[in-house]
Amino acid sequence: MKSWLLASTLLCSSVSAWAKDTLVILSPHRKSIQEEYVPLFTEYYKKKFNTDVDVQWLDQGGTSDDVRFLRAKFANKSKSSGVDIFWGGGTATFLELQRDGFLDSYQLPAELKTQVPEKAAGIPLYDKTHTWYASAMSSFGVFFNKKIMKMDGLPAPKTWQDLGSPAYNDNISLTDPRRSGSANTMNAIVLQTMGWNRGWELLTTIAGNARSFTHSSTDPIKAVVSGDVGLAMAIDFYALAKIGDLGPDNLGFILPEGQAVLDPDPIAILKGAPNRKVAERFVEFVLSSEGQKLLLLPKGAPQGPKSSSLGRMAVNVKAYEETEGKRISPDNPFTQTGFIMLDLERATKMQRVFNDLVGASLVDPHEDLKKAWKKIAKGPVVDPILRLAFGKPLVSEEDFMKLVDKWDDEVVRNQTINAWVSASREKYKSLQ
C-alpha cells in the first residue's frame, strides 16, 4: 500500500513538474521591466490558469541587435523563430518587422479593447491589422544632473538646439543609433523638426559636445546619474524612473519646446509563435490595468513596482483613472495636447541608411570630429561659416532617399559607408 502511495506521489510530482507552460520573450527593455513584469505575470498566471509558466527572456544588447537576431532566426523562410513575443523598441521597429512579415495578427478581448483606445494625442495605439499594440508611450527629451549643472554654472536646456551650445562641450553622453532604437528616434525627431541641413548641423554639433557614444541607451543615463556628464538625450522613462528613485532635487528632465514627440512602444506576437496561447495571455496582462499600473506608480506603492520605478506613460485609460494623484508624473496623454507626430513611415524607410550615415559621419570618426569642434567652438559664439562647414551633411536629402532602395546590396552599402567615413575624417581634419 505504502509503495503504491509513494509511486502515486512521485507520478503526480512528475506530472506537475511537466505541466508547465512556456513563454519566450525577445526584448531590448531594461532589466527593471523584466524584474517587475515577469514575477507578477507568473503569479497572475498561476492564479488565473492554475498552471505554472516559465518565462524565458532574451536580449541581444539593444533593439537593433534584437532585430538582427530575429532576422537570423527567420532566415531561409523559416516558419518560426522559436520566439513568442517581441516587446519594446519603438514603433518604427515594429513597422519594419511587420513589413518583413515577422508579426502575427491578434485581436484583444472586447472589454480590454475599450480600455485601450485607438489613439492618444492623435497617435495610433495599435496597427490596423492588429499585428502590434502599444504597451506604453514614450516621449524624448534631455535628462540632466542638476547638481553637476549648478556646479559647472550651466543653464538647464529647453530645446534640442541648446545641446549644440559650446557651453556643454564634453558634458553630453550619447548612444550609437546603430545599437539603440531610441537614439535613432531622437535623431529622426531632430531631422523632422529642423529639416535636413539644419538638422544635420545640430546633430554634428551635439556630437562635438559628446564625451562619447555608448553601445547601450542606458549608459548615458548612468553617466548623468553618476555625474560623469551633465546631460544626455534620453527617452522619458529612463529619466523619470531615476527621478522617481533619486528625487527631483538631484535630477531633471525636459521635453523640448515645440519638439515633443509621442511614440508608442509596442508589443507583438511573432509569426509561428511556439506558445501562441501563452503569448496572447501575456499581451492581455501587459495591457490590462493591473499590468499598466506598474508603469505609472512609484516603487513601493500598492499595486506598483516593488524594486524600481518604471516611470512610463500607460495606454490603458482605466489605469490612469485608478492612479489619479498617485503617479510619478501627472502627465496623461489622453488629456494633454501639444505633442507632434513623428512621420513613422518615413522614419522606418530611412532607418537603416540613416543609422549607417550617423555611424559613418558622427560615431566612427568621433575623435577627429571632437578635435575639429574644439578648434571651432573656442568661445560662446561659433563662427557661422565654420559651423556650416562642420555640420554640412555628406549627402543631400534627395540622394540619401535614392540610397534607401539600394541598401540591401551589401556591396553598395559597404562601399558607400567606407566612402562616408573617409570623407568625414578628411572634412574634420581640414577644420582642425
Residues 47-99 have pLDDT tens digits of 999 999 999 999 998 888 999 999 999 997 789 999 999 999 888 889 999 99
Question: What's the mean pLDDT in 133-151?
Answer: 94
Evaluate if residue 14 carries a pLDDT over 80: no
For the cut 70, the answer to whether the pLDDT of residue 303 exceeds it is: yes
Residue 12: is its pLDDT beyond 90? Answer: no
Q: Is 168 exposed, middle or buried (0-12, 13-18, 19+ CB in 10 A)?
A: buried
Give pTM, 2 decimals: 0.73
For every residue of 368-391, DSSP letters joined together read HHHHHHHHH-SSSS--HHHHHHHH
* Confidence (pLDDT) at 345: 80
Total residues belonging to the chain? 432
Supply the pLDDT for residue 15.
43
Residue 174: φ, ψ to 5°? -125, 165
Residue 19 is predicted with a pLDDT of: 61
pLDDT tens-digit series, residues 360-404: 999 999 999 999 999 999 877 789 999 999 999 999 999 999 999
The span from the CA of 256 to the CA of 247, in Å, is 21
Who has greater pLDDT, 134 or 339? 134
Judge whether residue 8 has pLDDT over 70. no
Q: Mean pLDDT score of the chain, rounded to an integer?
A: 91
Long-range CB contacts (within 8 A, 24+) of 223-227: 223/173, 224/143, 224/144, 224/145, 224/148, 224/173, 224/251, 225/145, 225/251, 227/145, 227/147, 227/148
Q: Would residue 286 count as lying in a domain?
A: yes
Assess if residue 66 is contained within a domain: yes
Residue 143 lies in a domain: no
pLDDT of residue 387: 94
Per-residue CA distances from 194 to 82, 201, 382 (Å): 42, 10, 19
Determine the Cα–Cα distance for residues 284 and 424; give it in Å rounded to an integer: 48
Higher local confidence (pLDDT), 355 or 245: 355
On the question of pLDDT at 6 being above 50, the answer is no
Domain enclosing residue 84, as ranges: 19-137+263-322
Q: What is the mean pLDDT of residues 38-55?
A: 97
Question: Rounded to an integer, what distance in angstroms lies between the CA atom of residue 26 and that of residue 398?
Answer: 36
Whether residue 197 lies inside any domain: the answer is no
pLDDT digits (tens, 9 = 90+) for 210-235: 999 998 888 999 999 999 999 999 98
In this predicted model, what pLDDT tens digit does every residue of 147-204 receive, in sequence order? 999 999 999 999 999 999 999 999 999 999 998 888 988 999 999 999 999 999 999 9
Please report, for the domain that includes residue 94, its CATH number: 3.40.190.10
pLDDT, tens digit, 9 for 90 and up, residues 251-287: 999 988 778 888 889 999 999 999 999 999 999 999 9
Q: How far is CA 304 from CA 126, 360, 389, in A?
A: 25, 43, 51
How many domains does the structure of the chain reveal? 1
Report pLDDT for 235: 87
Is 61 part of any domain? yes
Query: In the prediction, which pLDDT does 379 show?
Result: 75
Residue 79, in any domain of the structure: yes
What CA–CA distance (Å, rounded) separates 95 from 100? 9
pLDDT for res 138: 84
Q: Is 5 exposed, middle or buried (0-12, 13-18, 19+ CB in 10 A)?
A: exposed
Please name the residues in contact with 384: beta carbons below 8 A apart, sequence gap of 6 or more: none
Give pLDDT, residue 346: 87
Arithmetic mean of pLDDT, 91-118: 94
At which residue does the C-alpha cell 541608411 appear? Answer: 353
Q: Are 55 and 42 in contact (CB under 8 A)?
A: yes
In a domain, 279, yes or no: yes
pLDDT of residue 18: 53
Please indicate, yes or no, if residue 209 is contained in any of the structural domains: no
